[in-house]
Amino acid sequence: MLVILGYVVVLGSVFGGYALMGGHFGVLYQPLEVLIIGGAAVGAFIAGNDGKTIRATLKALPGLVKSSGKHDKALFMELLALMYVLLSKGRKDGMMALESDVEDPKNSPVFAPYKVILADAHVLEFMTDYLRLVVSGNTDPHEIGELMEQEMETFKHEGEIPAHSLTRVGDALPALGIVAAVLGVVHALASADLPPAEMGQLIAHAMVGTFLGILLAYGFVSPLGTLIEHKVAESLKVYECIRVTLMASLNGYAPQLAVEFGRKVLLSTERPSFSELEGHVRDVKSR
């Protein structure tokens, strides 16, 4: 919803200020300028990207208007509690005791209370894949940590593809606005026999193209690319938390200390306090 609110503020500020200075809105209504700029932008987007990028961008756009509440403190409390339960079971009964849980987490009694984690297929797969490697034995902690970092880098690169494509379109829009404006000026100059008042109106119409290109670029399209980058960085914190917690356990730390390591890498807005996490873990142990 913040995207819509931001767009409302942009439109209200620009057109409200224009109205206050005595501008006439009729001159800004130039559907052909919009057709030139919008059509050229869409064409450039199609020409400059492959099918996978286009599909990824179209898939990412609807999620941008939703409120960002997926990666909140409650999610990380649940994630750290699950990691604590898994690592405690592995420490007490041996890591082989986790084999059935990581092979079929959706039917595992250990995973069953953690509905949010089970609902996120990517996080669940990331967690169980590396627990499966640990369960298999003969694994070097350093190599596992490096592999996790490489996979996270792949997630980051893949997630930012729509951001980069939208940013490039945003960068092109001011130039496409100039193209529309130049075409309008050409049309005006080709009508040089018109009275000065009509000639001035044609030139004013042409200048709207530059205005629209810049407004669409910096007020609408480029912010979407920035928002996608923020969402990708936010989602990566989940994987980072899993990686740090698991690596702490592989390096010999007790489960309660391992989840403390995971807590420390979280952003301050989502990070539970030490006492909150300790109390939550205590509740999990009592259950």
Write down the pLDDT at residue 12: 95
In 3D space, the residue among 92, 87, 94, 89 whose CA is nearest the CA of residue 130 turns out to be 87
Write down the pLDDT at residue 276: 85
Q: Which 8-state DSSP code applies to residue 50?
A: -
Which two tokens mark 101?
């849980």
- C-alpha to C-alpha distance for 264 and 239, rounded to whole angstroms: 13
Write down the pLDDT at residue 38: 95
Half-sphere exposure of 37 (CA within 13 A, CB side): 31
Per-domain boundaries in the chain: 28-287
Query: Do 213 and 174 touch, CB atoms closer than 8 A?
Result: yes
Query: Sign of the CA dihedral 54, 60, 61, 62?
Result: positive
pTM, two decimals, is: 0.85
Q: Which 8-state DSSP code applies to residue 28?
A: G
| pLDDT in 10s for each residue of the chain, 287 residues | 789 999 999 999 999 999 999 988 888 899 999 999 999 999 999 999 999 999 999 999 988 887 665 778 888 998 999 999 999 999 888 888 899 999 999 999 989 888 889 988 999 999 999 999 888 877 788 899 999 999 999 999 999 999 999 999 999 999 999 999 999 999 888 887 888 888 888 888 899 999 999 999 999 999 999 999 999 999 999 999 999 999 999 999 999 899 999 999 998 888 988 888 888 777 776 76
Query: Do 81 and 247 touch, CB atoms closer than 8 A?
Result: no
In 3D space, the residue among 185, 214, 215 whose CA is nearest the CA of residue 201 turns out to be 185
**Residue 66 CB neighbours (<10 A):** 11
Query: Do 225 and 163 touch, CB atoms closer than 8 A?
Result: yes
